Amino acid sequence: MDDIFPSNFLWGGATAANQCEGGYNEGGRGIANVDVIPFGEKRFSVMNGTMKMLDFDNKYYYPAKEAIDMYHRYKEDIALFAEMGFKVYRMSIAWSRIFPKGDEKEPNEAGLQFYENVFKECKKYGIEPLVTITHFDCPIHLIKEYGGWKNRKLIDFYQRLCKVLFTRYKGLVNYWITFNEINMILHLPFLAAGLLKEEDEDFEKVKYQAIHHELVASAIATKIAHETDKNNKVGCMIAAGVTYPYTCNPKDFWEAYKNDREGYFFVDVQARGYYPNYALKEMKRKGLMPDMEKEDIKLLKENTVDFIALSYYNSQLISSDPNISKLTEGNIFPTLRNPYLQISEWGWQIDPLGFRITLNSLYDRYQKPLFVVENGLGAKDIIDENGNINDDYRINYLKEHIKAMKDAINEDGVEIIGYTVWGCIDLVSASTGEMKKRYGFIYVDKDNEGNGTLKRYKKKSFYWYKKVIETNGEDLE
Ligand code: BGP
């Protein structure tokens, strides 16, 4: 019988601290970049580092401040995850809960205790925590004082954070991801790395310097994780999604190839342990070569990741012809509109076969186990007068993607550790700051402006996913 998922396959859901936790000023927590990203039209310019916002401005609404208040409701929420039968729960640490400013010598005990309670709550139900060490957070003090990840000192502060986490949670957590969607830094550098576009700097060069620091920090984290507990498994993570050429013109294929390599570049370093030639050539050619220290090369070489985590929402389409320019939205980057695919309400192209192709490409390239840590459909849900939400569109999306993943495993032999559905409980959208872009199996009563009771309701997909997990992916109907 090989037409099934492996018996130890980790089914579950995923969230990130800044999009669900709230409690931004409680338990000694410091302010972070993710807190000062407002809802509304300025959001994008703040995230890409072109508009400086390092404090709250009462002209704006900041959705991360309260988010869905999981800080106070985590017990109720984890109980709901357990009811669905989750084997794994992917979540992230808010760095500024552990080190409020980021550069302190000693951690904040209240923050450490909070996550200990969360992990213990998971363990109570046999749920394995999968912890993203940084899901876009950077303490604001590290940005104001050091300029974010462009400063090499960030490696030391991150290392201190990792040491504390691995030691304190030894035995409670074994799966770690060093940076969420590390390739996001190229597109939204303030969100991903606390970088601001300054007049007197070449922003591209700054990005590559910050990337180098993150790559070295990730290798150091991997080293410490392995030294602290041999059962620790550490993963890198990219926002993935295969790029198709618009036509069979080799020039289009070449554009598609390069576009995919933009994301692979990070994994090439983290999984193989060295900068690939094409990247070195390009960085030299464009004057983007980062400063590297001798020890960095050794650290990268000796501390490659155990698994490759990815998010997948949509495929991409590219052309070499500048006149072909009809774009649609996608995770992180807009892409050409593919006439063979349907789109979500937010314009993201729905492509389950693209998921299978993406999984194959990553596995072919690295031959390391994959972990699908984000996949899902952002959609508007309507709650009827009886409190029911019939989200068949979400069930269909997930069903088709799970089938594609099953094919990748059974037909193609791709090794996959698990699958965590993004936003398993409704949370704040990273790109738009909206609440109405919902991904969850659990509905949260809150609107885009922050009104609502925060009450949780189970959607139709809640019962569907419960059955999927119960039957280990056999019953998808
Ligand atoms: C990824 C992020 C998540 C999440 C997801 C969905 O890029 O890692 O944090 O938000 O995309 O995107 P959005 O919230 O913009 O719909």
pLDDT per position as a tens digit, 361-390: 999 999 999 999 999 999 999 999 998 999
Residue 58 belongs to a domain: yes
- Over the stretch 179-228, which tens digit does the pLDDT of each residue have? 999 999 999 999 999 999 999 999 999 999 999 999 999 999 999 999 99
**Buried residues in 233-265 as b, exposed as e (16+ CB within 10 A):** bbbbbbbbbbbbbbeeeeebbebbeebbeebbb
Task: Tell whether the model's pLDDT for residue 298 goes beyond 80.
Answer: yes
Beta strand 175-179 with 233-240 is: parallel
Residue 475 belongs to a domain: no
Q: Which atom of ligand 1 is nearest to the CA of 431?
A: 15
Tell me the pLDDT band of 327, cut-offs 50, 70 and 90.
confident
Tell me the pLDDT band of 2, cut-offs 50, 70 and 90.
low
Neighbouring C-beta atoms of residue 64, cutoff 10 Å = 27
- Structural contact between residues 68 and 22, judged by C-beta atoms closer than 8 angstroms: yes
Residue 154 belongs to a domain: yes
Task: Tell whether the model's pLDDT for residue 332 goes beyond 80.
Answer: no
Q: Compute the distance from residue 399 Cα to the ligand 1 centre, in Å.
A: 20
- Over the stretch 117-144, which tens digit does the pLDDT of each residue have? 999 999 999 999 999 999 999 999 999 9
151 lines ligand 1 (CB under 6 A): no
Q: Compute the distance from residue 430 Cα to the ligand 1 centre, in Å.
A: 5
Mean pLDDT of the residues in the chain: 97
Give the per-residue pLDDT at 333.
Answer: 76
Backbone φ/ψ region at 387: left (φ over 0), alpha (ψ -120 to 50), beta: left
The stretch 455-476 carries a mean pLDDT of 97
Task: Tell whether the model's pLDDT for residue 112 goes beyond 60.
Answer: yes
Q: What would the two tokens of residue 469 be?
A: 């997990």
Residue 156 belongs to a domain: yes
Give the per-residue pLDDT at 326.
Answer: 80
268 lines ligand 1 (CB under 6 A): no
CATH code of the domain in which 220 resides: 3.20.20.80
420 lines ligand 1 (CB under 6 A): no
Neighbouring C-beta atoms of residue 231, cutoff 10 Å = 12
Give the per-residue pLDDT at 3.
Answer: 65
Beta strand 327-328 with 307-312 is: unpaired
Residue 177 belongs to a domain: yes
Residue 2 belongs to a domain: no
Give, using CA atoms, the residue closest to atom 9 of ligand 1. Answer: 430
Residue 4 belongs to a domain: no
63 lines ligand 1 (CB under 6 A): no
Give the per-residue pLDDT at 325.
Answer: 82
d(CA 454, CA 447): 9
Give, using CA atoms, the residue closest to atom 10 of ligand 1. Answer: 430
Q: Which atom of ligand 1 is nearest to the CA of 378?
A: 16
Task: Tell whether the model's pLDDT for residue 1 goes beyond 60.
Answer: no
The stretch 408-432 carries a mean pLDDT of 98
- Over the stretch 10-61, which tens digit does the pLDDT of each residue have? 999 999 999 999 999 999 999 999 999 999 999 999 999 999 999 999 999 9
Q: What count of residues does the chain have? A: 477
The CA angle 106-110-114, to the nearest 5 degrees, is 125
The stretch 317-331 carries a mean pLDDT of 87
Residue 130 belongs to a domain: yes
Residue 106 among the catalytic residues? no
DSSP 346-390: TSPEE-HHHHHHHHHHHHHHH-S-EEEEE----B-----TTS---
Alpha-carbon distances, residue 443 vs 39, 204, 452, 476 (angstroms) = 20, 40, 12, 21
Residue 181 among the catalytic residues? yes
Structural domain boundaries enclosing 318 = 10-470
Q: State pTM to two decimals.
A: 0.98
Q: Compute the distance from residue 437 Cα to the ligand 1 centre, in Å.
A: 10
73 lines ligand 1 (CB under 6 A): no
Q: Compute the distance from residue 281 Cα to the ligand 1 centre, in Å.
A: 32
Q: Percentage of the chain with pLDDT > 70?
A: 99
433 lines ligand 1 (CB under 6 A): no
The count of structural domains within the chain is 1
The stretch 252-272 carries a mean pLDDT of 97
Measure the N-to-C terminal CA separation of the chain; round to a whole number of Å. Answer: 20
Neighbouring C-beta atoms of residue 285, cutoff 10 Å = 9
